[in-house]
Amino acid sequence: MKKIVKEYKQKTIKELEKEKELLSQEIAKLKVSFKVNPPKDTNLLMKKRKQLAVLLTVLSEKKLLESLKK
């Protein structure tokens, strides 16, 4: 998880916004596909949600730091 956080901290706010949208869409698709065809890794949805939570945390930190700089 620390590796993912380091990757997110190196990206800009716009890149993080795009990543957030893609991850949200992927989670929505996974929810639908889980109903139709249950996968072998049932924890995949939880992993993606946790990744989204980390991304949102880093994004809010970056926005706060940017607002404090101004």
For residues 34, 38, 41 and 47, what is the CA-based torsion angle, rounded to 10 degrees?
Answer: 10
Give the pLDDT confidence score for residue 11 in this predicted structure.
94
Token output for 51: 């990744």
- Per-domain residue ranges for the chain? 16-65
Reported as a pLDDT band with limits 50, 70 and 90, residue 2 is confident
Residue-wise pLDDT for 11-70, tens only, equals 999 999 999 999 999 999 999 999 898 888 889 999 999 999 999 999 999 999 999 987
DSSP conformation class of 41: -
Rounded Cα–Cα distance for residues 51 and 35 (Å): 21
16 neighbors 66 (Cβ within 8 angstroms): no
